[in-house]
Amino acid sequence: MVPELVLLVDDEPELRTFLREALESDGYSVEVADGAEMALSMIERQHYPVIITDLNMPAGKSGLELIEMVKARDPKTLCIVITGFATLRDSIEALKRGAYDFLQKPFKLEELEAVLDRALELSRLQKRVEAYQGELESRVLARVAEMKTFHEDVLCLNRLLREALGETEPTALVLPFLDYLKARFAPDGIVLFLPGSAATWTMVPQEGLCPWAASWDLPPVDGFVEVQSWGEDSGYADGYLVPLRHTERTLGALFLGFKTRSSFTIEDSVFELWCNQIIAALYGFQCMRAYGAAMVAKQG
């Protein structure tokens, strides 16, 4: 793993060179600046997770001013202060301005590295937290978008169901549902079968459907209760034959075919909603037809 960059700011060339060489020999990646102005120009181009700065730099801005300006520009940067003229007041002021820790000269290299290691570990932890928060935010936004889309699907399918309740022909009833299914999931093949006379299947005509569907060896209407997967036999990479049932009654069967492997699953919540709505429409249609036949028989 490439070590994180550390910026060392000190106006003493000898100390700056010594600390850089010592830290780099121990595996740290260090860049140097001779004062606050140079450091500020460097952080404009590069993020440094940790900055080590001298507190008292006679020329230009002090370490305290540097810390304040660094935190204003890059709040995630952690600043370690080193000085040979530390007072309690200096320490408190540095911490107030956002310093992470404070070392008084002379210090041992091991002491600096211990503080530096803690600061780098905290920086890595902050990055992980930030990445997790970003991922969590993305998940929440994606979930909100899914819920919004699902709400729109619910409204659309409810409208189709209401309109279907006024239809007197099964083809006119189901075609809007099939058009919705084609637009929503983009299957390459789609066929709806309805029970015909003598417990046989009748294919609902729809523009563009392949005639091979009519010649399939379909399962019997009675007892067709489970989804069947149809691969090469149907001419598609993925194919599904789905029963449409209300309690013990089979109201129809739907085939969806995809020429290439697709992400579609029959457990998709929108597809399950579609199945429930068209089942309700078909069941309502059959009930109305049965009621009309009973009324005709009664009048006769």
Torsion angles phi and psi, residue 202, rounded to 5: -120, 130
Gyration radius of the chain's alpha carbons = 36
- The pLDDT value recorded for residue 166 is 81
Q: Which residue has the higher pLDDT, 8 or 92?
A: 8
- The pLDDT value recorded for residue 216 is 63
| CA angle centred on 296, ends 290 and 300, rounded to 5° | 145
Convert the pLDDT of each residue in 237-272 to its tens digit. Answer: 888 889 999 988 899 999 888 888 888 899 999 999
C-alpha–C-alpha distance, residues 16 and 13, integer Å: 5
- The pLDDT value recorded for residue 258 is 86
Would the pTM of this model clear 0.75, i.e. be above it? no
Domains and CATH numbers, the chain: 5-132 (3.40.50.2300), 165-299 (3.30.450.40)
C-alpha–C-alpha distance, residues 154 and 63, integer Å: 62
Convert the pLDDT of each residue in 83-106 to its tens digit. Answer: 876 666 777 788 888 889 888 888
Buried b (16+ CB within 10 A) or exposed e, 141-172: eeeeeeeeeeeebeebbeebbeebeebeebee
- The pLDDT value recorded for residue 232 is 63
Instruction: Please give the average per-residue pLDDT across 205-218, as a whole number.
Output: 58
C-alpha–C-alpha distance, residues 257 and 96, integer Å: 67
Q: How confident is the model at residue 2 (pLDDT cuts 50, 70, 90)?
A: low
Decide: residue 85, CB within 10 A, 0-12 exposed, 13-18 middle, 19+ buried.
exposed
In sign, the C-alpha dihedral spanning 86, 89, 90, 94 is: positive
Of 107-116, 148-157, 209-218, the range with the lowest mean pLDDT is 209-218
Angle between helices 88-96 and 63-73 (to 10 degrees): 20
* Ordered DSSP codes for the chain: -PPPEEEEE-S-HHHHHHHHHHHHHTT-EEEEESSHHHHHHHHHH---SEEEEES--SSSS-HHHHHHHHHHH-TT-EEEEEESS--HHHHHHHHHTTEEEEEESS--HHHHHHHHHHHHHHHHHHHHHHHHHHHHHHHHHHHHHHHHHHHHHHHHHHHHHHHHTT-SSHHHHHHHHHHHHHHHH--SEEEEEEE-GGG-EEEPP-TT--GGGGGS-PPPSTT--S-EE--GGGTSSEEEEEEEEETTEEEEEEEEEESS--S--TT-HHHHHHHHHHHHHHHHHHHHHHHHHHHHHHH-
